[in-house]
């Protein structure tokens, strides 16, 4: 919910709309003239303006022009009498979000304001992405607590030669973390070389990593350098390192220990200065216990461990991720940025995202291709997302003896707040009542846990 400014010279309308929107959880500011409204906008953060067209002095149309000159992203909804419909259509061409005809239906007001607040949130997230996230971390998007922990470790380890193991489910962005570490290091101008250890056979992987001498095997008609040589002075990113065979693990261990290797079919030791960043979606401790991964190599790789959280554990990042992908595919598809219907966002919060951020990106691309008009609606989503039930988060999953009592209690409190907001359709007043706390206390806690839109 957001702060809505209602502008009307008729006091009765101001009172009726204020009560209506406050019941929806909005904070409502009121003005009886356009000039008074402009003063309020200058002094207060406003998410949406709902203004009458016909007012003494400066009209609603002129107010729209002045607002767009001050803040082009601020949604303006106009209220019109029947005889003013032509003016409203003209205002839409000037950038008004919507118009409502008096006497209005309450549901039309609620719907239009919800669209305005959602659009404002989307644009704020896009501006945030364009400014705050234009950093060395590149396309790693997130401001939630779990992602702040990731960024904290990255900042401390980036400009060191230390080996890093990035762990997380498929689609969480492990390679983005690796590239961010490289970009923030003194090796940034040196090569970043990546290879997926699970995508090639054992024989081919060895040749890809270490290269081969001429005549080393049938078809080796000339010398070929491998990934280690290409990455000399820079970073070698070993994606899905848990898929590597035990034989190759021995050879990789030697490179980590001695900083040298031999090409396939060669006898000469080749010295390299390469920083290793490895990634896996497997539990390498379990792989070691099962005899599928060498314990000594695991300890060599696991010097600094970065755990990238799944999307279901950082759902407060969904709005800025959605904004990022809408901007990305808006540019790629050469179309204007669509609004996101509030029901779509509610579905996104409910869905468990087994494919993580990669799945969310695919969903946004599909929705932008299929959506009609200027908005993404629930009908543009796949059925399993649109009709997904609430995520079942058991208390046992939140309890961690490694995190300690304070952090565990924070996780439980954040979960309860998320669930209360979802059940109240993100109407803060209702969520606060469900939780038995004041609205101001709820907003404080939402800010603490990164749950504000």
pLDDT digit string, tens, across residues 302-315: 999 999 999 988 98
Count CB-CB contacts under 10 A for residue 244.
24
Do 3-131 and 145-307 come out as alike in CATH topology? yes
Residue ranges of the domains in the chain?
3-131, 145-307, 311-386, 395-448
Is the Cα torsion angle 364, 370, 375, 377 positive or negative in sign?
negative
Q: Which stretch of DSSP H or E encloses residue 3?
A: strand 3-7
The answer to whether the beta carbons of residues 14 and 32 sit under 8 Å apart is yes
First to last CA, the chain: 8
CATH number at 311-386: 1.10.8.60
Q: How far apart are CA 116 and CA 427, in angstroms?
A: 15
Q: Structure pTM?
A: 0.70
Multiple choice CATH, 3-131, 3.30.420.40, 3.40.640.10, 3.40.50.970, 3.40.50.2300: 3.40.50.2300
Q: How far apart are CA 325 and CA 142, in angstroms?
A: 13
Low-confidence residues in the chain, pLDDT < 70: 1, 82-85, 88, 129-138, 390-406, 408, 453
pLDDT at res. 219: 83
**Number of alpha carbons in the 13 Å side-chain half-sphere of residue 150:** 27
Q: Dihedral through CA 397, CA 400, CA 406, CA 410, nearest 10?
A: -20
pLDDT at res. 187: 93
Q: How far apart are CA 319 and CA 4, in angstroms?
A: 20
The answer to whether the beta carbons of residues 246 and 252 sit under 8 Å apart is no
Count CB-CB contacts under 10 A for residue 204.
10
pLDDT at res. 439: 79
Is the domain 145-307 a CATH 3.40.50.300 member?
yes
CA–CA–CA angle 68, 124, 311 (5° rounding): 155
Q: Which stretch of DSSP H or E encloses residue 153?
A: helix 145-157
Count CB-CB contacts under 10 A for residue 175.
16
Q: What is the pLDDT of residues 275-287, one digit of tens each?
A: 999 999 999 999 9
User: Nearest-CA neighbor of 255 among 216, 226, 214, 279?
Assistant: 226
Sorted by sequence, the CB contacts under 8 Å of residue 245 that are 6+ apart come out as 202, 205
101, β-bridge pairs: 80
């Amino acid at each position: 919910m957001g702060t809505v400014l209602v502008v009307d010279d008729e006091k009765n309308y101001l009172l009726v709309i204020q009560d209506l929107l406050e019941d929806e959880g909005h904070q409502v500011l009121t003005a009886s003239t356009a000039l008074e409204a402009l003063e309020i906008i200058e002094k207060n953060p406003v998410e949406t303006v709902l203004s009458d067209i016909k007012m003494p002095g400066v009209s609603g149309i002129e107010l729209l022009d002045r607002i767009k000159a001050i803040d082009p992203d601020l949604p303006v909804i106009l209220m019109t009498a029947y005889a003013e419909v032509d003016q409203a259509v003209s205002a839409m061409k000037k950038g008004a979000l919507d118009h409502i005809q008096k006497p209005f239906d309450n549901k039309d007001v609620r719907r239009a304001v919800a669209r305005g607040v959602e659009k404002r949130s989307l644009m704020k997230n896009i501006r945030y992405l364009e400014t705050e996230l234009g950093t060395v971390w590149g396309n790693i998007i997130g401001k939630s607590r779990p992602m702040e922990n990731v960024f904290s470790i990255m900042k401390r380890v980036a400009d060191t030669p230390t080996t890093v193991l990035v762990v997380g489910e498929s689609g969480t962005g492990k390679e983005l973390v690796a590239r961010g570490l490289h970009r923030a290091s003194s090796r940034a101008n040196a090569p970043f070389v990546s290879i997926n250890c699970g995508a090639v056979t054992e024989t081919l992987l060895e040749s890809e990593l270490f290269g081969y001498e001429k005549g080393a095997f049938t078809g080796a008609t000339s010398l070929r350098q491998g990934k280690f040589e290409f990455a000399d002075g820079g970073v070698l990113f070993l994606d899905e390192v848990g898929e590597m065979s035990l034989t190759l693990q021995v050879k990789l261990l030697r490179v980590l220990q001695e900083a040298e290797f031999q090409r396939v079919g060669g006898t000469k030791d080749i010295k390299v200065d390469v920083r290793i960043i490895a990634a896996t979606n497997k539990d390498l401790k379990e792989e070691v216990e099962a005899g599928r991964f060498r314990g000594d190599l695991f300890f060599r790789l696991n010097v600094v461990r970065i755990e990238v959280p799944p999307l279901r554990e950082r759902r407060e990042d969904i709005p800025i991720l959605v904004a990022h992908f809408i901007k990305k595919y808006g540019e790629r598809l050469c179309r204007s940025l669509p609004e996101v219907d509030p029901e779509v966002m509610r579905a996104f919060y409910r869905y468990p995202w087994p494919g993580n951020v990669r799945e969310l990106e695919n969903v946004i691309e599909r929705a932008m291709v299929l959506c009609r008009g200027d908005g993404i609606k629930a009908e543009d989503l796949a059925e399993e997302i649109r009709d997904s039930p609430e995520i079942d988060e058991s208390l046992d999953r939140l309890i961690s003896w490694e995190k300690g009592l304070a952090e565990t209690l924070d996780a439980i409190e954040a979960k309860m707040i998320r669930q209360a907001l979802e059940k109240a359709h993100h109407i803060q007043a209702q969520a606060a009542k469900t939780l038995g706390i004041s609205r101001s206390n709820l907003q404080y806690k939402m800010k603490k846990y990164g749950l504000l839109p």
